[in-house]
Amino acid sequence: MSDTPFFESELFAELKEDLTQSSRFTATYRIAAPDYEEARKLAFGICVEQTVECPYELVKGTPIGDTIVGQIEDLKKAEPGAYYATISYDPTAVGNEMAELLNMLFGNTSLQPGIKLMSFDLPEAMYDNYPGPRFGRTGLRDLCGVPRGPILMSAIKPLGRSPKELGQMVYDLAMGGCPIIKDDHSLMNQDYAPFEERVLQCVMALADAKEKTGKKSMYIANCTADGLQFLDRAYKAKEIGAD
């Protein structure tokens, strides 16, 4: 097994070069399989599961089977017991929606053992709808002040803590150098930690820590709410000073 990272390997460069002119978008999966035939069988299962999600016999020989169902473009051995399968998908099948793009790349297949999404490539025509991340990896490192190595993140919890107690957690984490600090997903707008008061305490705690260390950590507020109320919370969190 090579020590070269997958994204820097000749195999990745070869897989990418083969598909740069394709009008379909592609995804490369690492599949654990004992031999080529089993790997191909699993790869075809991905083609079906990530698209029509029904027995292939129901669409075989139809326009759906010929276009919507994923197509195996390449299958190469990675190392003993593993293969890289590059599968292409029809751009019209995602309907210009990010949620469906993510679902098609790695939806139900993510629940299956031995399969890992390694990378994906979009044809030029799709970049109008998917221009890429706002910050990217480099931007996130700049925001966090972590030029190399892992970027750590911690959640504040548990339920039942007061805004002041949660703010103290944020302060301690920031003093310890944690670059990203987030509300636990269960912290919403409970009586013992109201949303606005909690966010204010956490933002002030970050400011105190920055004054002492000179380093900026980020605090991410959980804005989850019923219906469109989540937008109100998001705007309020931004107004208070959350990141």
What's residue 16's pLDDT?
57
What's residue 23's pLDDT?
87
Residues 6+ apart with CB under 8 A from 127: none
Q: Across the 243 residues of the chain, what is the mean pLDDT of every consecutive 10-residue run?
A: 68 59 86 98 97 95 94 95 97 92 95 96 88 86 91 95 97 97 96 97 97 94 95 98 96
Nearest to 120 by CA among 47, 41, 16, 43: 16
What's residue 127's pLDDT?
85
Answer yes or no: are the C-beta atoms of 240 and 183 closer than 8 Å: no
What's residue 137's pLDDT?
87
Superfamily covering domain 6-128: RuBisCO large subunit, N-terminal domain (3.30.70.150)
| CA distance to 35, 114, 115, 188, per residue, from 3 (Å) | 22, 20, 20, 44
- State which H helix or E strand residue 243 sits in: none
Start-end of CATH 3.30.70.150 domains in the chain: 6-128
Q: Return the beta strands (E) in 50-194 as ranges.
A: 71-79, 82-89, 115-121, 153-156, 180-183
User: Could you give the 3-state DSSP secondary structure of residue 84?
Assistant: strand
What's residue 20's pLDDT?
45
Nearest to 221 by CA among 192, 193, 190, 188: 188
What's residue 21's pLDDT?
45
**pTM greater than 0.85:** no
Alpha-carbon gap, residue 47 to 65, rounded angstroms? 10
What's residue 40's pLDDT?
98
